[in-house]
Every structure is written in structure tokens, then in C-alpha cells.
Amino acid sequence: MTQVANELYWKYPNEPVVGFFRATEPELVIRDPDIVKRILITDFDHFYKRGLVHENTVFEPLMQNLFFAEGDVWKLLRQRITPSFTTGKLKGMFPLIVERAEKLRARTLAAAVKGKPIDARDLMARFTTDFIGACGFGLDADSLNEEDSAFRKLGIKIFKIEWKDIIKTVLKDMFPDLFRNLKVWTRIEGDMFDLVGEILRKRNHKPIGRNDFIDLILECQMKGTMKGESIEAKKPDGSPEIATLEMDLGLIAAQVFVFFAAGFETSSSATSYTLHQLAYHPEVQKKAQDEIDRVLAKHNGQLSYDAVKELTYLEWVFKEGLRMFPSLGFLLRKSTRPYFFPELNMTIDENINILIPLQSLHNDPKYFPEPEVFRPERFDPEEFDSNNKYVYLPFGEGPRACIGARLGLMQSLAGLAAVLSSFTVEPAPETKRVPTVDPKSSIVQSISNGLPLMFIERKE
């Protein structure tokens, strides 16, 4: 999808929007940041649908999650789960992150002493899987050390796109009415329900004070039925109906699934790509390492929530990596009713998909001069162009922005700091300067054949 959006973006450089057909459905690519803002924030009530699940399609339990869900299900879930990501809750999770970051350092050392290249993509995926195991599921997954960790296998299974999945997705896209009963997620549904059911039984369906995602979801469940004003149904007088939703096992499994899926692929993709860029920019890497050394010395050599908050330059480095290669290369929305664009003097119908091409916007020299150059200083608040607020959107924006953005940022910076405090990364003989994107990537972009790098231990 990112490649399609990118192609259309550069084909019509002077147009604010570009229309095309995805199979038989019309779709609109937005090239203008002001119109992006209108869709994501100003007129959000016209575009609250994500549009990733076809209307009237067969019910798939795992799709009832915060990322895929639509309408009232999305609104009530978002309302209930948002308090789970407060600063206090994130601080409570941080010791779990530090533990994993230390294991990441040890795993890297064990591999580095052999003097062979390490696949940064696989290394960071194992760190992320361990983190999700601990913060999400209350499990000590140890994917970093166990080659055949069951939890790591589940992560791979979720993102291993098989040919039959591609065929099912294409058929549903091209002939939605004919193939509405085709299920795409059956291959992991059973695994997910079994895993979540087992964890809930071990906890006796009650929070155990571990501050992980399962605890937070169980706290949400204990608050009882979710209630709120409907964004879909109106009374005859025009006021909203009241919508309700129960947090049952299916809904819990769906949220845990998306916590795993959204956290696993995005963070590991973003951190490994950042390491790849640092391997080719030793001066930037040295500057980031100097900052990490300085901050860790101040905090007794220990990573902590407060220490990570002080890694300003490392945050710019990570943001620049996300600019060049955003994990999600596009945002998708769908019109809920006809909508008039005053800038274009144009109206679109109900149920039109809207594609916001992040990869293209992030790499357009109009907004980021010399976009192919890796330059973290772009994100210095004194230099960052505030007009680019609706151009640079790696976590989305508005009411449907990523709920776990701060958690993802914190975990990613901790992982990068753990690696860079002990190792310097350099290109391996087989490293490709410009990695190839896997065209089978679905929502999250991934790279073909990993990211091999040399990890050289830093001496005291």
C-alpha cells in the first residue's frame, strides 16, 4: 500500500489530491498537509472510520481491536483504554523495559564476540518480543536467548504473510460482496485465544498488581459495561443514542493481539533501521553515544524512566529514522458521509477511502530539504518547522493517533541506548546501503533479508 501511495504521490507533484481505483473502489490520496489536518482533526467526525475492514463482512473476533475497530466499538474502547497509558502507568512499566534492555545488551555481546554480522532486525525483534511478553502478557518470554521461543514464533506467525492470505485479501478487495465470508485471521485466532485464556485463568481474571497490559485490560473489564454517546446512531431529535459494550474474552483477546502486533513489528522495524543509518553515519553515532554515556554516568550507569527522558539527541536520531522509513508508510481513513472540500471545490461520497502517504510526505524536499540525508538536527525544536506538524506523522494524529506512541518511543529509546552504550555499529560486508522493502509487507513496512551489521564492543 505504501508503494502504491508513493507512486501516485510523485506522479502528480502539483496536485493537492489524486484519485485512483483500488480494485473497483474509488480512493483519494491526499498530498496537501492542510487537507490532512482537516481529515485527521478538524472534521474528524466525517472521517472516524479507518476503513481496513470491509462493511458487511464476516465477523472476525481479532478485528475488534482498537486499531481495526470502527464506530462505537472503537469509540468506547478508546475511551476506556486511554487511561491505561498515563505517565504514571508508563513509569510503572519501565522496570520491565530495563530488565529486557539489559538482556538485549548481554545477547548482543554473546553474538558480537564471534566477530560475525548480526541481523539487527532479528535482534531488535527479539528485544521487542521480550518486552511485549513482559509488559503485555506478564510472561518471561526470553526470546533473546531461546532460538525457538514459542512467543517469538507467535510474533513471526502473525506477520508471516502466506500466499493464501494474499489471495483472500485480494478477493475481498476486488469482490467484497462475493467473498464477504472469507476469514483472513483464522490461522492465529486459536493461538491467541488459548494464550489469553491461559493467562487470565492464572490470574483468576483479576489484576495482580504487575502493571502490565493484561492487568490494565482486566482493570478496564472490572469497571463494567462501557457506555457513551454513539457516533453512529442518532435519535429523531438529532441527539446521539447511548451505545454500550461488554469487555468479554473476545474483546480482551483482540486488544492483546493488537498490543502484540502493533508493538512488535513497528518498534523492531524502526529501531533496526535507525541502527542501520547510524552504521553509515559514525559522526552521528558518536554524538548519540557521548550523550548516552553522559546521561548514564549521571544515573549510576542505570537506565531508568528519567534517564531515557534526558536522551534528547537520541530521540532526534530515532525520529529521523522514522522520518526516512516510517513503520506505517500510510494512514487510512474512510468518509462516513458526503464531504465537501472547500479548497478543492469538490465533494466526495460516503464510504470513500482516504490514503495519507506518510512515506512520501516525510521524504518530500518541499518539507525536508535533502530528504535522503540522515540529519537528526532537523528535530531540534529550534530548527523544526512547525508547519510540518501535519507532514511528519509516524504515530498518526488526532483522536485515532497511536494510543501507545509514548510507550513505543520509550521502549525504542531504551533498546537503542542499551545497544549504543556498549557497542558501535558498522556496516557488514553484505550490508545493502539502501535496504529493499519487502513488497509482501501488509500494513507495517518490513525489509527483505534483514539488516546485517557488525556490532563492535566499546572498551571502557
Annotated binding site for heme: 402
Contact 191, 253 (CB under 8 A): no
Annotated binding site: 402
Sequence-ordered list of residues with C-beta below 8 angstroms from that of 357, at least 6 positions apart, any chain: 2, 5, 6, 8, 9, 29, 30, 31, 329, 330
- In this predicted structure, what is the pLDDT of residue 382? 92
C-alpha dihedral (83, 85, 89, 94), degrees to nearest 10: 170
Separation of alpha carbons 172 and 40, rounded Å: 26
Q: Which pTM does this prediction carry?
A: 0.90
Buried b (16+ CB within 10 A) or exposed e, 371-409: beebbbebbeeeeeeeebebbbbbbbbbebebbbeebbb
Name the burial class of residue 82, with classes exposed (0-12), middle (13-18) and buried (19+) by CB atoms within 10 angstroms of its CB: exposed
- Dihedral over Cα of 182, 186, 189, 194: its sign: positive
- In this predicted structure, what is the pLDDT of residue 317? 98
- Max CA distance (Å), the chain: 73
- In this predicted structure, what is the pLDDT of residue 390? 93
Phi, psi (degrees; rounded to nearest 5) at 424: -110, 135
- In this predicted structure, what is the pLDDT of residue 213? 81
- In this predicted structure, what is the pLDDT of residue 140? 63
> What single-letter amino acid sits at 413?
L
What is the full per-residue pLDDT of the chain (460 aa) written as tens digits? Answer: 899 899 999 999 999 999 999 878 899 999 999 999 999 999 999 999 998 777 777 778 888 888 888 999 999 999 988 887 888 888 888 888 888 888 888 888 888 888 899 999 989 988 888 888 777 777 765 545 555 656 666 766 776 767 787 788 788 777 877 877 777 777 778 888 888 888 888 888 888 877 778 888 888 889 999 999 999 889 999 899 999 999 888 888 888 888 877 777 788 899 999 999 999 999 999 999 999 999 999 999 889 999 999 999 999 999 999 999 999 999 999 999 999 999 999 999 999 999 999 999 999 999 999 999 999 999 999 998 887 889 999 999 999 999 889 988 998 999 999 999 999 999 999 999 999 988 877 778 888 888 999 999 998 6
pLDDT digit string, tens, across residues 187-239: 778 888 888 888 888 888 888 877 778 888 888 889 999 999 999 889 999 89
- In this predicted structure, what is the pLDDT of residue 149? 58
CA distances from 333 to 201, 227, 300, 357 (A): 37, 24, 47, 12
> What single-letter amino acid sits at 106?
A
Q: Chain centroid to CA 306: how far? A: 23
Domains of the chain: 2-426 (1.10.630.10)
